[in-house]
């Protein structure tokens, strides 16, 4: 059910799905965007004036960062190991970032095509610190589709 015209979605309810497995422990997703090149066409008009016209170019690949609390789950480590050792048939996957409404019903899906992990970063380990350890996975993708 779409939201009424005056309501907008809140950004706290989302999930990540890869290989039909929903991962709900994600705490943050950043860098999600669709972008394309801009082609500048420089020309003279019929009356001799200089004009620049901008046209849409090729779509650009993107990168998104996914953060979650550190757990025993080692799926991120296994995935990045495949890409580090050149097993790109296993590493390239299609995934989806799903935004849910207040009732838990999906309202928007951002499908990442041919996504693979670029880096995995563990938060700072500090003696005496009581903050939650996190892992950030940078995922690069060839294209994004909004469903």
Return the CATH number at 109.
Answer: 2.30.110
* pTM for this entry: 0.78
Predicted local confidence at residue 113, as pLDDT: 93
**Residue 130: φ, ψ to 5°:** -110, 10
Q: Does the pLDDT value for residue 2 go beyond 70? A: no
Phi, psi of 3 (to 5 degrees): -70, 150
- Most distant pair of Cα atoms in the chain: their distance: 74
Residue 3, domain member (yes or no): no
Residue 124 within a domain:
yes
Task: State yes or no: pLDDT of 1 exceeds 60.
Answer: no
Cα–Cα distance, 13 to 6 (Å, whole number): 19
Render pLDDT for 94-110 as a digit per residue (tens, 0 to 9). 999 988 888 888 889 99
Residue 6 lies in a domain: no
pLDDT at 61: 92
Total count of domains within the chain? 1
**Looking at the domain assignment, is residue 136 inside a domain?**
yes
Kindly state the DSSP code that residue 142 receives in the 8-state scheme: S
């Amino acid at each position: 059910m779409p939201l009424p015209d005056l309501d907008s979605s809140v950004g706290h309810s989302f999930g990540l799905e890869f290989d039909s497995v929903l991962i709900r422990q994600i705490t943050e997703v950043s860098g999600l965007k669709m972008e394309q090149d801009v082609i500048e066409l420089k020309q003279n008009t019929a009356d001799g004036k200089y004009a620049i016209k901008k046209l849409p170019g090729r779509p650009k690949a993107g990168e998104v960062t996914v953060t979650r609390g550190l757990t025993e789950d080692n799926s991120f480590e296994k995935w990045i190991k495949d890409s580090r050792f050149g097993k790109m048939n296993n590493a390239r996957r299609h995934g989806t970032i799903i935004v849910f409404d207040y009732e838990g019903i999906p309202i928007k899906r951002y499908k990442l095509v041919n996504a693979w992990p670029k880096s995995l970063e563990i938060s700072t380990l500090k003696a005496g610190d009581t903050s939650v350890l996190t892992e950030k996975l940078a995922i690069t993708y060839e294209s994004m589709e909004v469903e």
